Structure 1
Amino acid sequence: MKKPSSKIREEIARLQEQLKAAETREAERIGRVALRAGLGEIESDEAELQAAFEQVAQRFRGGKGVATGKRSVGDGSSGGASGTKDENGAAQSSAGEA
């Protein structure tokens, strides 16, 4: 039995709200971790921070891609900025630190 378009629209709206709430929770969680790691004190432009976060994401996914700070449509891999690990194994980006 087919759903009427109005029901599908309602379901889409409900799912969009769920997505928005999930993204907000994830952003808050990652933001808290970033602040505890001291990223709030680093003066850097968004592209550099994006590149560093993409490197961290690749590391945790087990990939070998390097971030550029630009979104890539498709597999999520990109290339560019360099990073290092501290003695605890945490990724650190040398780009944009003041």
Structure 2
Amino acid sequence: MKKPSSKIREEIAKLQDQLKAAETREAERIGRIALRAGLGEFEIDESELQAALEELAKRFRSGPTAQSSGQNGKGRGSTGAGQASANPAGEAPGSLGEA
């Protein structure tokens, strides 16, 4: 049996709401991470920041083998994780010293 167009429109509206909610959650998550990384402190053009983030996305889209095989990527990841764990556990003097 075929659905009437009104039912399909209702489903589309529900899916659009779900998409909007998912995008909001993702944006908030990425925003929190960006702020913790210090991106909120820079005066940078939005298009320039977007281009940099697109480059970062390309790095992660290349797959797990590209991430784990490269020494540079692995070193950066472990350094970033170490800094992220050290700051919340410690008193965060590093961030105060840099400011």
The TM-score with structure 2 as length reference comes to 0.64
Q: Deviations over 1:8-52 (max 9, x none)?
A: 000000000000000000000000000000000010111100001
Q: How far, CA to CA, are the matches of 1:60 and 1:32 in structure 2?
A: 19
Counterpart secondary structure, 2:8: helix
- Other-structure match for 1:35: 35
Distance change in 2, residues 1:87/1:40 (3 Å): farther
In terms of fraction of residues, the more helix-rich structure is 2
Moved over 2 A (4+): 85-88
- Which structure 1 residue ranges, 5 or more long, are not aligned? 64-84, 91-98
- Other-structure match for 1:47: 47
Q: Which amino acid aligns with 2:36?
A: R
Matches within 5 A, 1:1-98: 1-62=1-62, 88-89=75-76
The TM-score with structure 1 as length reference comes to 0.65
In terms of fraction of residues, the more strand-rich structure is 1
Q: Greater CA radius of gyration, 1 or 2?
A: 2
Q: How far, CA to CA, are the matches of 1:57 and 1:18 in structure 2?
A: 23
Q: Deviations over 1:59-88 (max 9, x none)?
A: 11118xxxxxxxxxxxxxxxxxxxxx7995
- Which structure 2 residue ranges, 5 or more long, are not aligned? 64-71, 78-99
Distance change in 2, residues 1:4/1:87 (3 Å): closer
Percent identity (aligned): 75
Q: How far, CA to CA, are the matches of 1:86 and 1:15 in structure 2?
A: 37
Residues paired across the two proteins, number? 69
